Amino acid sequence: MDRDVRFDMKKKPMKCGLFFKLLLWILCFPSLLMHRTKLKKVGMEGIKGPYLLLGNHNAFFDMKVSIAAAWPQVPNYIVAIDGYIGREWLLRAIGCICKRKFTNDPLLIRQMQRVTRSGGIVGLYPEARYSLCGTTAPLPEALGKVCKLLNVPVVVLICHGHHINHPFWNTRRERKVKPTEATMKLIFTPEELSALSAEEINKRLVKEFQYDDFRWQEENRIPVRDPDRARGLEKILYQCPHCGTEYRMTGEGTRLTCSACGKTWEMDEFGVLHASDGRTEYPHIPDWYEWERENVRREVRNGTYTTGILPVTVESLPNAKRFIPIGSGTMTHDMNGFRVSVTDPDGDIRVMEKPVPSLYSCHIEYEYLFKHGDCVDLNTLTDTWYVYPHDIPFSVTKMALATEELYYAYRERIGDPCKEGTA
For residue range 70-113, what is the model confidence (pLDDT) as tens digits?
Answer: 999 999 999 999 999 989 999 999 999 999 999 888 899 999 99
Residues whose CB falls within 8 Å of the CB of residue 164, separated by 6 or more in sequence, listed in order? 134, 175, 177, 213, 214, 216, 217, 222, 224, 271
Return the beta strands (E) in 120-169 as ranges.
Answer: 121-124, 154-160
pLDDT tens track for 310-367: 999 999 999 988 999 999 999 999 999 999 999 998 899 999 999 999 999 999 999 9
The two beta strands, 375-379 and 363-365, are antiparallel
Element (H, E) at 54: strand 51-55
The per-residue b/e assignment along 131-168, b for 16 or more CB within 10 angstroms, e otherwise, is: bbbbbbbbbbbbbbbbbbebbbbbbbbbbbbbbbbbbb
Beta bridge partners of 324: 316
Name the residue among 252, 213, 212, 216 with its Cα closest to residue 231: 252
> Domains along the chain?
8-220 (3.40.1130.10), 233-302 (no CATH), 310-413 (2.30.29)
Q: Average the pLDDT over 126-153 and give the result.
A: 95
Burial bucket for residue 192 (CB in 10 Å: 0-12, 13-18, 19+): middle
Determine contact, residues 61/91, Cβ cutoff 8 Å: no
Name the residue among 287, 126, 265 with its Cα closest to residue 208: 126
* pLDDT above 90 for 155: yes
Q: Average the pLDDT over 401-406 and give the result.
A: 97
Indicate the pLDDT class of residue 8, thresholds 50, 70 and 90. Answer: confident
Determine contact, residues 245/258, Cβ cutoff 8 Å: yes
Indicate the pLDDT class of residue 137, thresholds 50, 70 and 90. Answer: very high
Taking the C-alpha atoms of residue 173 and residue 270, their distance in angstroms, rounded to an integer, is 18
Taking the C-alpha atoms of residue 322 and residue 324, their distance in angstroms, rounded to an integer, is 6
* pLDDT above 60 for 18: yes
* pLDDT above 90 for 370: no
Burial bucket for residue 373 (CB in 10 Å: 0-12, 13-18, 19+): middle
- Rounded to 5 degrees, what angle do the CA atoms 187, 62, 378 make? 95
* pLDDT above 70 for 176: yes
Indicate the pLDDT class of residue 417, thresholds 50, 70 and 90. Answer: confident
Indicate the pLDDT class of residue 421, thresholds 50, 70 and 90. Answer: low
Return the beta strands (E) in 161-288 as ranges.
Answer: 181-188, 249-252, 255-258, 264-267, 273-275
* pLDDT above 80 for 164: yes
pLDDT tens track for 25-39: 999 999 999 999 999
Q: Average the pLDDT over 5-22 and give the result.
A: 90
Taking the C-alpha atoms of residue 268 and residue 274, their distance in angstroms, rounded to an integer, is 8
The per-residue b/e assignment along 224-241, b for 16 or more CB within 10 angstroms, e otherwise, is: bebeebbbbbbbbbbbbb
Of the CA atoms within 13 Å of residue 309, those in its CB half-sphere come to: 5
pLDDT given for residue 7 in this prediction: 85
